[in-house]
Amino acid sequence: MARTLSYISGTQLLSLKRRPNIAIVDVRDDERSYDGHIAGSLHFSSETFLDKIPNLVQQVQGKDTLVFHCALSQVRGPKCARRLAEHLAETTQDAGIKNIMVLERGFNGWESAGRPVCRCTDNPCKAEIV
């Protein structure tokens, strides 16, 4: 099944985040460790993303919507989202993922809008968006 990428605003993500079928995938590299992250997100560094796609698919079982982001969601976030879509198109495995989205303005836009940021070191983050 071909999947197209769409974009989601921070406001839309906040309203959807409480649904149990959504996973947020942070593909920033080292900056996650010192800038913080969106509560509840998974971390899959863009540097090693291609090799870790099977791990991601396994970790998001039961989720039908994945929202990717990097710092600005201009390069790494969209690129990793496309790579996942390509992987899913090439495999016969039904991962149950129906929607692949990219967070507009990325983590920097999320944080500058005053949205909640977690600074824990857990991956996946166990905190909830308030």
113-122: per-residue pLDDT in tens?
A: 999 899 998 8
70 tagged catalytic: yes
Q: Contacts by 79-82 with C-beta closer than 8 Å and gap 24+?
A: 79/46, 80/25, 80/27, 80/44, 80/46, 80/49, 81/5, 82/5
Which residue among 70, 118, 120, 125 is the active-site one? 70
pLDDT digits (tens, 9 = 90+) for 72-103: 999 999 999 999 999 999 987 768 999 999 99
- Please answer whether residues 77 and 45 qualify as being in contact, where contact means their C-beta atoms are separated by less than 8 angstroms: no
Q: Is the pLDDT of residue 104 over 90?
A: yes
Whole-prediction pTM value?
0.93
Strand order in the sheet with 42-43: 5-8, 99-103, 65-69, 22-26, 42-43
**What three-state secondary structure class fits 127?**
coil
What 8-state DSSP symbol labels residue 70? -
What's the average model confidence in pLDDT over 100-110?
Answer: 97
Q: Is the pLDDT of residue 130 over 70?
A: no
pLDDT digits (tens, 9 = 90+) for 22-70: 999 999 998 888 899 999 999 999 999 999 999 999 999 999 999 999 9
What's the average model confidence in pLDDT over 15-21?
Answer: 83
* ω into 20 cis (within 30 of 0): no
Predicted pLDDT at 65: 94
Predicted pLDDT at 91: 85
Can you read off the two tokens belonging to residue 16? 């959807």
